[in-house]
Amino acid sequence: MRRALLAITGLAASTIALVVFKAAPGTGQPAQEAPTAAEGPAPAAGADETTPRVSTAPESTRSASGASRSGSSGAPGTPAASRTGTAAAPPTASTLVGPVVSNEFGDVQVRITVVGDRIVNAAAQRLPRGTAQSDQRSDQVDSRYSGAVGMVVERQSADLDTISGATATSDAYRRSLQAAIDQRR
């Protein structure tokens, strides 16, 4: 019983120590370089990615010891822009809309957002609605395929699994999606 208590206590203490030392700045791994004024800070989740942001002043942070430091993690007195060289312009986001594809249950239309060569979001603009069964099947298709974490973003293509019970809507979604993907080429 004492050994078990010692083992649990030791595990808890080592886990806490690992978290504290891993999270403390300046304890092993170098900090990530802060974005330069030309790049701006990373956009917040759900923010409009097409609007450029510019940071005009370095952020001031406090380390675990209470000392204040300013700017990015480089040599003292070295401006961030001179270390990074020429910064390439970030890729712009473009929105592509596929055609309306009709099936026996209604119309389907897909919109994708592309940054560079990657699909970052997909959304159904139109899905069959009107009956409880159409609503349910459309919701299944939309939840599996659409969104920033849906199957479209995961696979980066129109090669998607068919949703059981919503074959016609799945096929129409894929055809509209493929047409939207073909627009970017």
Output the six-digit token pair for 38: 């030309």
Closest to 175 measured CA to CA, from 100, 112, 115, 123: 100
Give the whole-angstrom CA distance, residue 22 versus residue 28: 8
Closest to 96 measured CA to CA, from 135, 134, 122: 122
Closest to 111 measured CA to CA, from 122, 101, 120, 119: 122
- The tens place of each residue's pLDDT in the chain, 185 residues long, gives 778 777 788 777 777 766 666 654 554 444 444 444 444 444 444 444 443 333 344 444 444 444 444 444 444 454 544 455 566 777 888 999 999 999 999 999 999 999 988 999 999 999 999 999 999 999 999 999 999 999 999 999 999 999 999 999 999 999 999 999 999 87
Predicted model pTM: 0.53
In the prediction, which pLDDT does 86 show? Answer: 65
